[in-house]
Structure 1
Amino acid sequence: MGVVFSAVTPSSVITNKLCDEDRKWMELNTKIKPGDMDSEYNKFYKKYPKGGIYRHQFANLFPSMMTVHFCDHVFRTLDLDGNGYLDFKEFMMANDLVNAKTPEDKLSWAFKVYDVDKSGAIDQKEMVRVMKSIYLMVGHTETNRDALQDQAEAHAVKLFKALDVDGDKELSEEEFIKGCKEDKELMAKLQKLVEELVPKKK
């Protein structure tokens, strides 16, 4: 999923009202309270009248010392549909990560992002995606990209096998969170990611 610098205006610009489908998605995937959805959406819409945050706007939200690579990878991870901008739903998921206070919150965010089919479980392939994204986002100055991805895949495969105790080749959110909490290296990387994602003060 790459960054696309598109000039196409997002479809959400057509209306300033959150549709029922998006509202349901928000209830399932973010921590925003139902009663706050409309006001938060209107704030977002006023600040980003085209309906989304583009790559250059996203970079301006964070500390200037961040590398281009770091910002690009965070953007790609949050741009779940790969359309080149963060819509309101994706923006609120980003807020959930920034506001994640406990290990459970951080891991729940990672699980929801990579449970692509929303089945309530992730397989080993999805686990590898989780780990690669985390490694790339927090290891942008430590080593090269290929080496990081190899390390991440090895870490994910080993962790998945350890957590999949019933051998069904899937992990529920509860299994994922419980097992990952015991992985000190993974938790340290998630904490570093959250710290680096704290937006700079205006």
Structure 2
Amino acid sequence: MGNAKSSAISKEILEDLKLNTKFTENELCQWYENFQKQCPTGRISPEEFETIYARFFPDSEAKTYAQHVFRSFDTNEDGTLDFKEYIIALHMTSSGKTTRKLEWAFSLFDVDKNGYITKTEVEVICQAIFNLIPKEDLPKLPADENTPEKRANKLWGFFEKSDNDRLAEGEFIKGVTENENAMRLIHYEPIKH
């Protein structure tokens, strides 16, 4: 029985992640093993995260978006992601319940972390999302969202706020859930060919 690996995932973290994500125990153990290989320190730096994220978007400039995603998941603000923060990030950006996803999206758009979103912050994130779109897909975008500015204006318009207003988390979630187009604009999904 003296075979317990020191690199094994702790039971508490495993149970917590099984409750809060769609991943199975097997998947989580596999993720953890890979995480340990790639990040022997047990932490992912912003640069390492950008590299991992870039693999998901090989035809895009994903760096800026990855930086915002990293910021939104570095919950203890120590400048790194531990395994748990990393798995939550993967789960939230790939699946997750709509409300939890929207809470995360709010934190993504809340660039200065003051609890509110401004139109300027929407523009910053829309620019980062736009960078994820492969160049050949840009002509396929609707005319009212084929630039980061147009996309930001369209999204901001759903909240019925003036350009100088601030948006609280509840208003953001309500505005996005009540409008299918808003949901589509807050993240990037590859265009189906």
Please state which band the TM-score falls in when normalised by the shorter chain: 0.5 to 0.7
Pairwise CA RMSD: 4.6
Higher relative contact order (CA 8 A, sep 6+): 1
Larger Rg, first or second structure (1 or 2):
2
Q: Which residue of 1 aligns with 2:173?
A: 177
% identical aligned pairs: 23
Q: Which residue of 2 aligns with 1:46?
A: 36
Q: Which runs of 5+ in 2 are unaligned?
A: 1-6, 8-19, 22-27, 73-78
For residue 96 of structure 1, report the CA deviation from its aligned partner: 1.8
Structure 2 counterpart of 1:176, one-letter code = F
Choose which of 129, 132, 135 in structure 2 pairs with 1:137.
Answer: 132
In structure 2, do the counterparts of structure 1 residues 114 and 52 end up closer, same or farther at CA, with 3 Å as the change threshold?
same
In structure 2, do the counterparts of structure 1 residues 125 and 56 end up closer, same or farther at CA, with 3 Å as the change threshold?
closer
Choose which of 101, 106, 127 in structure 2 pairs with 1:106.
Answer: 101
Q: What TM-score does the superposition give when structure 1 sets the normalisation length?
A: 0.52
8 Å CA contact 2:106, 2:172 repeated in 1: yes
In structure 2, do the counterparts of structure 1 residues 128 and 167 end up closer, same or farther at CA, with 3 Å as the change threshold?
closer
Q: Which residue of 2 aligns with 1:78?
A: 69
Q: Which runs of 5+ in 1 are unaligned?
A: 1-15, 17-30, 33-38, 197-202
8 Å CA contact 1:136, 1:149 repeated in 2: no
In structure 2, do the counterparts of structure 1 residues 190 and 141 end up closer, same or farther at CA, with 3 Å as the change threshold?
farther
2 CA distance for matches of 1:168 and 1:79? 27
Number of residues paired by the alignment? 153
Q: Which residue of 2 aligns with 1:155?
A: 151
In structure 2, do the counterparts of structure 1 residues 136 and 155 end up closer, same or farther at CA, with 3 Å as the change threshold?
same
Q: What TM-score does the superposition give when structure 2 sets the normalisation length?
A: 0.54
For residue 56 of structure 1, report the CA deviation from its aligned partner: 4.2
